[in-house]
Protein backbone atom coordinates (compact mmCIF):
# COMPACT_ATOMS: atom_id res chain seq x y z
CA UNK A 1 0.00 0.00 0.00
CA UNK A 2 2.82 2.39 0.91
CA UNK A 3 4.48 1.77 -2.47
CA UNK A 4 1.21 2.61 -4.26
CA UNK A 5 0.87 5.87 -2.33
CA UNK A 6 4.48 6.78 -3.13
CA UNK A 7 3.81 6.06 -6.80
CA UNK A 8 0.62 8.14 -6.91
CA UNK A 9 2.21 11.21 -5.37
CA UNK A 10 5.41 10.78 -7.40
CA UNK A 11 7.52 10.39 -4.27
CA UNK A 12 11.22 10.41 -5.12
CA UNK A 13 13.37 7.40 -4.30
CA UNK A 14 17.09 7.18 -3.45
CA UNK A 15 17.99 8.25 -7.00
CA UNK A 16 16.28 11.62 -6.50
CA UNK A 17 13.65 10.70 -9.11
CA UNK A 18 10.25 9.01 -9.01
CA UNK A 19 7.20 7.97 -11.02
CA UNK A 20 6.46 11.54 -12.17
CA UNK A 21 10.01 12.31 -13.37
CA UNK A 22 10.40 12.81 -17.13
CA UNK A 23 13.11 11.72 -19.56
CA UNK A 24 14.27 15.33 -19.96
CA UNK A 25 14.54 15.81 -16.20
CA UNK A 26 16.66 12.70 -15.60
CA UNK A 27 19.08 13.65 -18.41
CA UNK A 28 19.30 17.32 -17.52
CA UNK A 29 22.82 18.70 -18.14
CA UNK A 30 24.05 15.38 -19.56
CA UNK A 31 26.39 15.86 -22.54
CA UNK A 32 26.07 12.84 -24.82
CA UNK A 33 27.93 14.21 -27.85
CA UNK A 34 30.51 11.41 -27.65
CA UNK A 35 27.84 8.69 -27.47
CA UNK A 36 26.49 6.51 -30.29
CA UNK A 37 23.25 4.70 -29.45
CA UNK A 38 21.13 2.06 -31.15
CA UNK A 39 17.49 2.20 -30.03
CA UNK A 40 15.00 -0.41 -31.25
CA UNK A 41 11.33 0.49 -31.48
CA UNK A 42 12.11 4.19 -31.72
CA UNK A 43 9.46 5.15 -34.27
CA UNK A 44 6.68 5.69 -31.72
CA UNK A 45 5.79 5.80 -28.03
CA UNK A 46 8.43 5.37 -25.35
CA UNK A 47 11.16 4.56 -27.88
CA UNK A 48 10.50 7.74 -29.86
CA UNK A 49 10.68 9.87 -26.71
CA UNK A 50 13.88 8.10 -25.63
CA UNK A 51 15.42 8.84 -29.04
CA UNK A 52 14.28 12.48 -29.00
CA UNK A 53 15.74 13.16 -25.56
CA UNK A 54 19.07 11.43 -26.26
CA UNK A 55 19.38 13.38 -29.52
CA UNK A 56 18.60 16.58 -27.62
CA UNK A 57 21.55 15.76 -25.32
CA UNK A 58 23.80 15.31 -28.36
CA UNK A 59 23.91 11.54 -28.95
CA UNK A 60 24.34 10.09 -32.43
CA UNK A 61 21.39 7.75 -33.05
CA UNK A 62 20.94 4.62 -35.10
CA UNK A 63 17.24 3.91 -35.53
CA UNK A 64 16.50 0.42 -36.86
CA UNK A 65 12.92 -0.23 -37.95
CA UNK A 66 10.80 -2.62 -39.97
CA UNK A 67 9.25 0.37 -41.73
CA UNK A 68 11.90 2.67 -43.17
CA UNK A 69 9.22 5.30 -43.76
CA UNK A 70 8.27 5.30 -40.07
CA UNK A 71 11.96 5.59 -39.16
CA UNK A 72 12.48 8.45 -41.62
CA UNK A 73 9.44 10.23 -40.14
CA UNK A 74 10.88 9.78 -36.63
CA UNK A 75 14.22 11.12 -37.84
CA UNK A 76 12.52 14.17 -39.38
CA UNK A 77 10.63 14.91 -36.14
CA UNK A 78 13.83 14.74 -34.10
CA UNK A 79 15.82 16.79 -36.64
CA UNK A 80 13.17 19.54 -36.60
CA UNK A 81 13.66 19.93 -32.84
CA UNK A 82 17.39 19.16 -32.75
CA UNK A 83 18.98 20.63 -35.90
CA UNK A 84 22.39 19.13 -36.57
CA UNK A 85 21.59 15.85 -34.84
CA UNK A 86 23.14 12.82 -36.51
CA UNK A 87 20.57 10.08 -37.09
CA UNK A 88 21.09 6.93 -39.16
CA UNK A 89 18.01 5.00 -40.29
CA UNK A 90 18.37 1.28 -41.04
CA UNK A 91 16.13 -1.69 -41.84
CA UNK A 92 15.51 -4.29 -39.12
CA UNK A 93 12.77 -6.83 -38.48
CA UNK A 94 13.38 -8.22 -34.99
CA UNK A 95 11.21 -11.27 -35.64
CA UNK A 96 13.64 -12.40 -38.38
CA UNK A 97 17.06 -13.79 -37.43
CA UNK A 98 18.25 -13.20 -41.02
CA UNK A 99 17.17 -9.54 -40.87
CA UNK A 100 19.06 -9.11 -37.59
CA UNK A 101 22.26 -10.57 -39.07
CA UNK A 102 21.89 -8.32 -42.12
CA UNK A 103 21.37 -5.26 -39.92
CA UNK A 104 24.49 -5.98 -37.85
CA UNK A 105 26.59 -6.53 -41.00
CA UNK A 106 25.34 -3.22 -42.41
CA UNK A 107 25.95 -1.41 -39.12
CA UNK A 108 29.49 -2.77 -38.89
CA UNK A 109 30.19 -1.58 -42.45
CA UNK A 110 29.52 2.00 -41.27
CA UNK A 111 32.53 1.70 -38.92
CA UNK A 112 30.76 3.58 -36.12
CA UNK A 113 31.44 3.11 -32.40
CA UNK A 114 28.67 1.75 -30.17
CA UNK A 115 28.31 2.94 -26.59
CA UNK A 116 24.66 2.32 -25.91
CA UNK A 117 22.20 -0.38 -26.96
CA UNK A 118 18.58 0.15 -25.90
CA UNK A 119 16.46 -2.94 -26.59
CA UNK A 120 13.13 -1.16 -26.41
CA UNK A 121 10.96 -2.64 -29.18
CA UNK A 122 8.07 -4.80 -28.08
CA UNK A 123 4.72 -6.06 -29.29
CA UNK A 124 1.58 -7.49 -27.76
CA UNK A 125 0.14 -9.98 -30.26
CA UNK A 126 -3.58 -10.61 -29.76
CA UNK A 127 -3.49 -13.38 -32.33
CA UNK A 128 -1.19 -16.40 -32.44
CA UNK A 129 1.54 -16.23 -35.09
CA UNK A 130 4.82 -17.99 -35.84
CA UNK A 131 7.96 -16.19 -37.01
CA UNK A 132 9.76 -17.15 -40.23
CA UNK A 133 12.23 -19.02 -38.02
CA UNK A 134 9.51 -21.15 -36.44
CA UNK A 135 9.16 -19.42 -33.04
CA UNK A 136 6.03 -17.93 -31.44
CA UNK A 137 5.93 -14.33 -32.65
CA UNK A 138 5.75 -12.41 -29.33
CA UNK A 139 8.77 -14.25 -27.95
CA UNK A 140 10.62 -13.97 -31.27
CA UNK A 141 10.15 -10.18 -31.46
CA UNK A 142 10.33 -9.10 -27.82
CA UNK A 143 13.10 -11.38 -26.64
CA UNK A 144 14.87 -13.69 -29.11
CA UNK A 145 15.53 -10.95 -31.68
CA UNK A 146 17.07 -8.75 -28.99
CA UNK A 147 19.08 -11.70 -27.67
CA UNK A 148 20.69 -12.22 -31.09
CA UNK A 149 21.07 -8.49 -31.75
CA UNK A 150 22.90 -8.02 -28.44
CA UNK A 151 25.05 -11.11 -29.00
CA UNK A 152 26.18 -9.89 -32.44
CA UNK A 153 26.84 -6.29 -31.30
CA UNK A 154 28.67 -7.17 -28.09
CA UNK A 155 32.18 -7.22 -29.55
CA UNK A 156 31.64 -3.77 -31.03
CA UNK A 157 30.48 -2.47 -27.65
CA UNK A 158 33.45 -4.00 -25.82
CA UNK A 159 35.87 -2.59 -28.42
CA UNK A 160 34.29 0.88 -28.17
CA UNK A 161 34.51 0.87 -24.37
CA UNK A 162 38.16 -0.23 -24.51
CA UNK A 163 39.07 2.39 -27.12
CA UNK A 164 37.26 5.32 -25.48
CA UNK A 165 37.36 4.46 -21.79
CA UNK A 166 33.61 5.18 -21.69
CA UNK A 167 31.60 2.36 -20.15
CA UNK A 168 29.12 0.80 -22.54
CA UNK A 169 25.54 0.23 -21.44
CA UNK A 170 22.88 -2.22 -22.56
CA UNK A 171 19.31 -1.46 -21.44
CA UNK A 172 16.58 -4.08 -21.86
CA UNK A 173 13.05 -2.75 -21.61
CA UNK A 174 10.88 -5.29 -19.78
CA UNK A 175 7.69 -4.83 -17.76
CA UNK A 176 6.33 -5.52 -14.31
CA UNK A 177 4.05 -7.93 -16.16
CA UNK A 178 7.03 -10.35 -16.23
CA UNK A 179 5.84 -11.36 -12.76
CA UNK A 180 2.57 -12.66 -14.20
CA UNK A 181 4.31 -15.70 -15.69
CA UNK A 182 5.00 -18.77 -13.62
CA UNK A 183 5.93 -22.23 -14.77
CA UNK A 184 8.53 -23.71 -17.08
CA UNK A 185 9.60 -21.07 -19.64
CA UNK A 186 11.05 -23.37 -22.30
CA UNK A 187 8.25 -25.91 -21.99
CA UNK A 188 5.54 -23.23 -22.34
CA UNK A 189 7.29 -21.61 -25.30
CA UNK A 190 7.46 -24.98 -27.02
CA UNK A 191 3.79 -25.52 -26.27
CA UNK A 192 2.56 -22.20 -27.70
CA UNK A 193 4.92 -22.47 -30.66
CA UNK A 194 3.48 -25.87 -31.62
CA UNK A 195 -0.13 -25.57 -30.48
CA UNK A 196 -2.23 -22.50 -31.34
CA UNK A 197 -4.98 -23.61 -28.92
CA UNK A 198 -2.57 -23.17 -25.98
CA UNK A 199 -1.89 -19.52 -26.85
CA UNK A 200 -2.90 -16.79 -24.42
CA UNK A 201 -1.76 -13.32 -25.53
CA UNK A 202 -1.16 -11.92 -22.03
CA UNK A 203 0.73 -14.98 -20.83
CA UNK A 204 2.86 -14.97 -24.00
CA UNK A 205 3.66 -11.29 -23.43
CA UNK A 206 4.52 -11.93 -19.77
CA UNK A 207 6.77 -14.82 -20.83
CA UNK A 208 8.67 -12.59 -23.28
CA UNK A 209 9.12 -9.87 -20.65
CA UNK A 210 10.36 -12.42 -18.09
CA UNK A 211 12.85 -13.57 -20.74
CA UNK A 212 14.11 -9.95 -21.00
CA UNK A 213 14.72 -9.94 -17.24
CA UNK A 214 16.56 -13.28 -17.26
CA UNK A 215 18.59 -12.23 -20.32
CA UNK A 216 19.79 -9.17 -18.42
CA UNK A 217 20.80 -11.26 -15.41
CA UNK A 218 22.84 -13.80 -17.36
CA UNK A 219 24.31 -11.18 -19.73
CA UNK A 220 25.53 -9.11 -16.78
CA UNK A 221 27.16 -12.22 -15.27
CA UNK A 222 28.94 -13.00 -18.54
CA UNK A 223 30.11 -9.41 -19.02
CA UNK A 224 31.60 -9.45 -15.54
CA UNK A 225 33.29 -12.78 -16.26
CA UNK A 226 34.75 -11.29 -19.48
CA UNK A 227 35.91 -8.23 -17.48
CA UNK A 228 34.21 -6.13 -20.17
CA UNK A 229 33.63 -2.44 -19.48
CA UNK A 230 29.98 -2.85 -20.45
CA UNK A 231 26.93 -3.11 -18.16
CA UNK A 232 23.49 -4.61 -18.71
CA UNK A 233 20.37 -3.53 -16.85
CA UNK A 234 16.64 -3.93 -17.21
CA UNK A 235 13.76 -1.48 -16.79
CA UNK A 236 10.01 -1.38 -16.27
CA UNK A 237 8.91 1.87 -17.95
CA UNK A 238 5.42 1.97 -16.47
CA UNK A 239 2.04 1.73 -18.16
CA UNK A 240 1.44 4.58 -20.56
CA UNK A 241 -1.65 6.79 -20.56
CA UNK A 242 -3.57 6.54 -23.83
CA UNK A 243 -6.87 7.89 -25.04
CA UNK A 244 -9.23 5.40 -23.49
CA UNK A 245 -12.59 5.07 -25.17
CA UNK A 246 -15.40 6.17 -22.93
CA UNK A 247 -18.69 4.53 -23.82
CA UNK A 248 -20.60 5.38 -20.67
CA UNK A 249 -20.94 8.48 -18.55
CA UNK A 250 -21.61 8.51 -14.85
CA UNK A 251 -20.00 8.83 -11.44
CA UNK A 252 -18.50 5.31 -11.36
CA UNK A 253 -17.01 5.68 -14.85
CA UNK A 254 -15.64 9.11 -13.96
CA UNK A 255 -14.08 7.69 -10.80
CA UNK A 256 -12.49 4.79 -12.68
CA UNK A 257 -11.03 7.13 -15.28
CA UNK A 258 -9.77 9.51 -12.60
CA UNK A 259 -7.97 6.68 -10.77
CA UNK A 260 -6.61 5.25 -14.02
CA UNK A 261 -5.24 8.65 -15.01
CA UNK A 262 -3.30 8.78 -11.73
CA UNK A 263 -1.83 5.29 -12.18
CA UNK A 264 -0.86 5.66 -15.83
CA UNK A 265 2.15 7.58 -17.08
CA UNK A 266 2.63 10.10 -19.85
CA UNK A 267 5.13 9.06 -22.52
CA UNK A 268 7.82 11.49 -21.20
CA UNK A 269 7.40 9.92 -17.75
CA UNK A 270 7.46 6.38 -19.16
CA UNK A 271 10.73 7.06 -21.03
CA UNK A 272 12.40 8.42 -17.89
CA UNK A 273 13.62 5.13 -16.41
CA UNK A 274 15.18 4.01 -19.71
CA UNK A 275 16.97 7.34 -20.10
CA UNK A 276 18.07 7.34 -16.46
CA UNK A 277 19.56 3.84 -16.66
CA UNK A 278 21.12 4.56 -20.06
CA UNK A 279 22.85 7.81 -19.14
CA UNK A 280 23.08 8.69 -15.45
CA UNK A 281 26.57 8.92 -13.96
CA UNK A 282 25.28 7.47 -10.68
CA UNK A 283 24.86 4.09 -12.39
CA UNK A 284 28.50 3.58 -13.42
CA UNK A 285 29.33 -0.12 -12.90
CA UNK A 286 25.73 -1.00 -11.92
CA UNK A 287 24.88 -4.19 -13.80
CA UNK A 288 22.35 -7.02 -13.71
CA UNK A 289 19.79 -4.84 -11.95
CA UNK A 290 16.11 -4.08 -12.50
CA UNK A 291 14.76 -0.53 -12.32
CA UNK A 292 11.29 0.97 -12.02
CA UNK A 293 10.41 4.66 -11.59
CA UNK A 294 14.14 5.49 -11.94
CA UNK A 295 15.04 3.45 -8.86
CA UNK A 296 16.31 -0.07 -8.32
CA UNK A 297 13.45 -2.52 -7.74
CA UNK A 298 12.89 -6.25 -7.26
CA UNK A 299 12.00 -8.73 -9.98
CA UNK A 300 9.68 -11.69 -9.51
CA UNK A 301 11.11 -14.77 -7.80
CA UNK A 302 11.45 -16.51 -11.17
CA UNK A 303 13.09 -13.39 -12.62
CA UNK A 304 15.81 -13.55 -9.98
CA UNK A 305 16.74 -17.19 -10.65
CA UNK A 306 20.31 -17.63 -11.88
CA UNK A 307 19.48 -21.21 -12.85
CA UNK A 308 16.56 -20.14 -15.06
CA UNK A 309 18.66 -17.34 -16.58
CA UNK A 310 21.42 -19.79 -17.51
CA UNK A 311 18.91 -22.33 -18.84
CA UNK A 312 17.16 -19.74 -21.01
CA UNK A 313 20.52 -18.54 -22.37
CA UNK A 314 21.47 -22.08 -23.43
CA UNK A 315 18.10 -22.61 -25.11
CA UNK A 316 18.38 -19.21 -26.83
CA UNK A 317 21.80 -20.11 -28.25
CA UNK A 318 20.21 -23.18 -29.81
CA UNK A 319 17.25 -21.15 -31.13
CA UNK A 320 19.47 -18.65 -32.96
CA UNK A 321 21.84 -21.31 -34.30
CA UNK A 322 19.74 -22.38 -37.26
CA UNK A 323 17.34 -24.97 -35.83
CA UNK A 324 15.18 -23.12 -33.28
CA UNK A 325 12.87 -26.03 -32.52
CA UNK A 326 15.85 -28.11 -31.37
CA UNK A 327 15.67 -26.10 -28.13
CA UNK A 328 12.41 -27.90 -27.26
CA UNK A 329 13.47 -31.45 -28.16
CA UNK A 330 15.11 -32.48 -24.87
CA UNK A 331 11.83 -31.66 -23.15
CA UNK A 332 9.71 -33.49 -25.72
CA UNK A 333 11.60 -36.48 -27.14
CA UNK A 334 8.57 -37.52 -29.21
CA UNK A 335 8.73 -34.36 -31.33
- Give pLDDT tens digits for 73-102: 999 999 999 999 999 999 999 999 999 999
Q: For position 237, what pLDDT does the model report?
A: 92
Rounded percentage of the chain residues whose pLDDT exceeds 70: 87
Half-sphere exposure of 32 (CA within 13 A, CB side): 29
Q: For position 146, what pLDDT does the model report?
A: 98
Find out whether 148 and 140 touch, Cβ atoms under 8 Å: no
Stretch among 16-25, 160-169, 243-252, 269-278 having the lowest mean pLDDT: 243-252
Confidence of residue 243 (pLDDT cuts 50, 70, 90): very low
Q: Where are the alpha helices (DSSP H) in the chain?
A: 2-9, 23-26, 45-56, 68-81, 97-109, 137-139, 145-164, 185-194, 201-226, 251-263, 267-270, 272-279, 306-319
Instruction: Choose, from 143, 199, 276, 290, the residue flagged as catalytic.
Output: 199
- Calculate the dihedral angle through the C-alpha atoms of 46, 139, 174, 332, rounding to the nearest 10 degrees: 180
124 is catalytic: no
Confidence of residue 113 (pLDDT cuts 50, 70, 90): very high
Q: For position 250, what pLDDT does the model report?
A: 53
DSSP state of 36: E
What's this model's pTM, rounded to 2 decimal places?
0.91
Find out whether 120 and 173 touch, Cβ atoms under 8 Å: yes
CB atoms within 10 A of CB 167: 18
Average pLDDT, the chain: 89
Three-state secondary structure call for residue 235:
strand
Amino acid sequence: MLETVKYLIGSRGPSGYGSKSTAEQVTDRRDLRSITAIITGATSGIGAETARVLAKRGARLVLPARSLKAAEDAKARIASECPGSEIVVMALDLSSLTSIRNFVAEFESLDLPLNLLINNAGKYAHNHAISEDGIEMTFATNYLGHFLLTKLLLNKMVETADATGVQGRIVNVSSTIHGWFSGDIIHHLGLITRDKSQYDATRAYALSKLANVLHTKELARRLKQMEANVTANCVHPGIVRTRLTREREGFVTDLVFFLASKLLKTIPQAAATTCYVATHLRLANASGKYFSDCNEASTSKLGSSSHEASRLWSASEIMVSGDPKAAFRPLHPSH
